[in-house]
Amino acid sequence: MPNSPTPAEHKTAVAANLRAICAVIGGAQSDIAAAIGVSKSKLGNWLRGDNYPDPFAMWLLCERYGVTMDWIYRGRVFGLPGHLADGLKARVSA
């Protein structure tokens, strides 16, 4: 089993995964926030890694945009729709 991250490292990784998926989804941060029922400032807190995202809001993100919880919390592209996986792979390798 690989080394587990610390809680702070995990929160930073989750934030980075959310930023990446928001960039691939496109659109304004305010539009994504509205689509998952949170304020732009709350989404901003999650994208900066200030707080962990709300599980229900992440469920809505998954349902609306085809994201997986495995991507958000574990950084795994398996199971993502092709266009999202390709966009994320391009961002990570850049």
Per-residue pLDDT of 46-83, as tens digits, reads 999 999 999 999 999 999 999 999 999 988 887 878 88
Confidence check: pLDDT of 37 > 80: yes
- Distance (Å, rounded) from C-alpha 43 to C-alpha 37? 10
Q: Does pLDDT of 34 surpass 90?
A: yes
Inform me whether the pLDDT recorded for 1 exceeds 50.
no
User: Is pLDDT above 70 for 2?
Assistant: no
The H-or-E segment that residue 44 falls in is helix 40-48
pLDDT value for 89? 77
For residues 62 and 71, give the distance between their C-alpha atoms in angstroms, rounded to a whole number. 10
Sign of the dihedral through C-alpha 62, 63, 65, 67: positive
- Pair of tokens at residue 35: 């689509």
